[in-house]
Amino acid sequence: MSLAIINIGDSHDGGLEGNTIDGDAIVTENGVITWIGPSSEVDPTAHENILDVAGATVVPGLIDSHVHTTFGDYTPRQQTVGFLESYLHGGTTRVLSASEVHVPGRPTDVTGVKALAIAAYKSYEHYRPSGMTVHGGSVILEPGLTRADFDELYAAGVRMAKGGFGAFPDARDYIPVVRDAQAAGIKVMCHSGGGSIPGSKSKISAELLLEMKPRVAGHINGGPTSLTPEENVRMVNEGGDIAMQLVHAGNLRSAIQLAELLLERGELHRMMLATDTPTGTGMIPLGMIRIITELTSLGPLTPRQAISASTGNVAAVYDIPGGYLRVGAAADVTVLDAPLGSAASTAFDAIELGDLPAVAAVVTEGIVRFTRSRNTPPAQKPSVLTSERKHRG
């Protein structure tokens, strides 16, 4: 399957510098970007599909690194079917499981949590809800898990773990278990701040996080209750390479402070934007676009920095496909534009004004999933999809 995306206006390659792509056209073959260059060099008859984005902005597909998936496109927490399809219509092309903690009657014994993580990973390995890629299977850290268990999980494909919901009598008891998971090659995200669900017993403090050293401090700005401003300073200044995950379902004031601190240290690479949904806060189809816009229009980020924190940064931390517009990368693309009625004329200008950009089109695995989002206002520059080879026949 061949797709050419032409007449690209502004763009972002997913990298830390927020550079534009080298041209105004992208060609994909069988789900991979194979060429980037000028639209004038694209032969329309050489591709099954042509997506003319009419000067709109093209960025890598957004990656939400904190989504409580379970199985299929259903969230028991909000009793909603089709939420992942709605997130796709918000420009999100990949989501990472923040553990399947919302599975009804979830197991807490060693055998059960291993089985749950492996089943979730295997469930989404080839299933693409409406074209979205779900990185499922994040083992919930519970007492009794050993290095041998993590080796078994890794061999089965599980690459993620979540701390903060286990039945440890003392939160510091997580530390040796985290070390065993990391030694097996599994990336650990730990809950940060106050409790997030009924039955939560204790706060995960900055002191504990700094001692634990997870790869990711999950919802560091609160899920929904944040650390203190003083703890935020410690996490940024003393956290080494711990990635800071700023989420929509958290404390916006805390997120702004953390973003300011990370930028002051020149450590944008440690920042990831996410939603932390579905939770009691709800399921939020435009959650990624909202936090991008909030931290730009109200906070210290530029639109390009916010996109980096929502694409390439996440791919780099978790070592997953996607996140970049470059030859050889997964063909996940989000087309953004200023929404109809905005004073802005481009997606990035709209974000700076605080207007949520329109999602003009989304491509996953080199397939155009739609050319008009059902969840945003229409784009000022609508995308048009044509099938040239079909027309030739």
User: Pseudo-torsion of CA 78, 131, 112, 139, nearest 10°?
Assistant: -90
Predicted pLDDT at 238: 98
- Token pair of 78 as six digits: 């909000």
**Can you read off the two tokens belonging to residue 302?**
């530029």
Query: What's this model's pTM, rounded to 2 decimal places?
Result: 0.96
What's the average model confidence in pLDDT over 204-213?
Answer: 96
Q: Which amino acid is at 86?
A: S
Enumerate the domain spans of the chain: 2-60+323-392, 62-318
pLDDT at 208 over 50: yes
The pLDDT value given to residue 135: 98
CA distances from residue 354 to 29, 63, 109, 252, 361 in whole angstroms, order as listed: 36, 21, 46, 14, 21
The candidate with the shortest Cα–Cα distance to 316, out of 353, 268, 358, 351, is: 268
Tell me the DSSP string of 141-190. P-TT--HHHHHHHHHTT--EEEESSS--SSGGGHHHHHHHHHHTTPEEEE
Mean pLDDT of 281-290: 96
pLDDT of residue 197: 52
Q: What is the mean pLDDT of the chain?
A: 95
Q: Which residues contact 84 (CB under 8 A, 6 or more apart)?
A: 69, 73, 95, 129, 130, 132, 134
Rounded-to-integer distance, Cα 350 and Cα 297, Å: 9
Task: Please state, in angstroms and rounded to a whole number, the distance separating the CA atoms of residues 29 and 366.
Answer: 7
pLDDT tens, residue by residue, 300-316? 999 999 999 999 999 99
Taken in order 212, 216, 222, 223, the sign of the CA dihedral is: negative
Per residue in 329-349, pLDDT (tens digit) is 999 999 999 999 999 999 999
> What amino acid is encoded at 186 in this protein?
I
Residue 194: the pLDDT is 79
CATH code of 2-60+323-392, in short, is 2.30.40.10
Q: At the fourth CATH level, which superfamily is domain 62-318?
A: Metal-dependent hydrolases (3.20.20.140)
Q: What is the pLDDT of residue 203?
A: 86
